[in-house]
Amino acid sequence: MKKAFLFTGAVAASVVAGGLTAYLVAGTVFDRHVAERGSDADAVVSEAPVWQSAAGAHFTSYEPQSYPDLTFAAENAVKAVVNIEAVQAVDARRQSYDPLMEMFGLPQTPYGDRSQMQERRAGGSGVIISSDGYIVTNNHVVEDATRLRVKLNDGKVFDAKIIGTDPTTDIALIKIDGENLPALPFGSSEDLRLGEWVLAIGSPFDLQSTITAGIVSAKARRLDVIPSELRIESFIQTDAVVNPGNSGGALVNTHGELVGINTVIKSSTGSYIGYSFAVPESIVRKVVVDLKEYGVVQRALLGVSYRFIDQDFIDMSGKDTGIDTIGGVYVVSVSDGSAASEAGIRKGDVITEIDGVKIDNSTALTEQIGRRRPNDRVKLTVKRGDEVKHFDVVLRNKAGKTELLSRESVDVSALLGGRFADAGAALCRELDIRGGVQVVDVRRGGLLERARVRNGFVITHINDKPVYSTADMYRITDRVTSIDGIYPDGRSASYLIVE
């Protein structure tokens, strides 16, 4: 009560001070008018109070049409944002112990165990994008879920099924059986301007239909937070408040259009401290269409590794490469048989534009290619020394082909369940192998965990075919039946996959 009282007193004092200021200004203006017009007091008194117009001269007048009104966007968009409850069934193994052994501090030996299924529940958000019940959300919201429950803004609850997921963008598409549902139209994330107002709508801490506002702080941010080697990151950064539970919710412009899916909080605490990040509509729309039409994302690949040319690149490599201008990407390597290789792109080239779009940040190339499908044609503008060249490139899929993938095509990285890296030259010499893919991390639920493969294992063959690099591994689209490799201590191991 004391703090409230002091605050109220401060406000009252401010109001009084404001009143005194207005009075003094009015007095000054009144005296000036009297001096200009003589002693005709009646003429002055008959006018509107002079202090009102004088005060207006000191402040910006309010023009409603010049300021954003967020109520239209908020009241309409909130109807299409849902709460998602993801239920995961886990096998919890319980063991029983002898209480007498525990009482006397003796070692306890389990004399029985049994398996028991338990449910873990997690929450997130989603956005209805069609009136027949298609909902876009984050992959990490629905990953490993055995059951999904969707609660609409009006309180209705539905069971949902997964249509498809894309770990490389952290986007998923699910569906509920409904009709005439409120759907949010797509806007344009490319048209967003820095400083533009946006709304974040979701269910933070299970508080459904929470709306916060902020501005676009930056575009095309890369954070390296999506756990996939083929990740596509070009986040919209905002200062709209986002917390756990907002994942999968809507980022909305002032027209009430979907311009992004809220995905990441950059925080040392796990809660909002100033910045949040959303997958832009340009990526979301393409992924959703692919998942709906094909059941799998049609990922186009250029087939190059590269570095964005910024001041750090120029400071470190400018002298060796002869590059002294910021902008574009430096081609570090070109994969054999890739789209870039077939088109004539070489190591050392600088890609400056794709279809006329300038490569002016570190994520521009990835985002532009990520919006396209295998067999799409793009025109690259390339600096090679002092020359500027143009290349027509036919993009390919991860298997190095131009065909679209089918639903049965395998995502080896997701199937194996892990993080991978190319085995370095030193490790290959030590193990006397030509190349391989080292398991950096084993994730729950994948083939590696089921086969009890440990971190550090170097995969040299999959399905009896040599695997010299991660690029070789990602080209595999057939079902995995066997894995061969070697551990860093020199012990070889083979695993047969039995479904």
At 87, is the secondary structure helix, strand, or coil?
strand
User: Can you tell me the distance from the alpha carbon of 136 to that of 251, in angstroms, rounded to the nearest whole number?
Assistant: 12
CB 216 within 8 A of CB 275: no
Write out the catalytic residue numbers.
140, 170, 247
Helix, strand, coil tally for the chain in percent (to 5): 25, 30, 40
Burial readout 251-273 (b: 16 or more C-beta within 10 A, e: otherwise): bbbbebbbbbbbbbbeeeeeebe
CB 387 within 8 A of CB 435: no
Q: Hey, what are 106's tokens?
A: 């003796």
Sorted by sequence, the CB contacts under 8 Å of residue 294 that are 6+ apart come out as 404, 405, 406, 407
CB 258 within 8 A of CB 265: no
Q: Hey, what are 327's tokens?
A: 């902008």
CB atoms closer than 10 angstroms to residue 119 = 11
Report CA-CA distances (Å) from 142 to 10, 124, 127, 259.
50, 9, 14, 21
User: Can you tell me the distance from the alpha carbon of 165 to that of 35, in angstroms, rounded to the nearest whole number?
Assistant: 78
- The 3 state secondary structure assigned to 90-156 is EEEEEECCCHHHHHCCCCCCCCCEEEEEEEEEEEEEEEECCCCCEEEEEHHHHCCCCEEEEECCCCC
User: Can you tell me the distance from the alpha carbon of 446 to that of 417, in angstroms, rounded to the nearest whole number?
Assistant: 4
Tell which residue, 454, 434, 428, has the closest CA to residue 442: 454
Angle at 236 between CA 140 and CA 370, to 5 degrees: 70
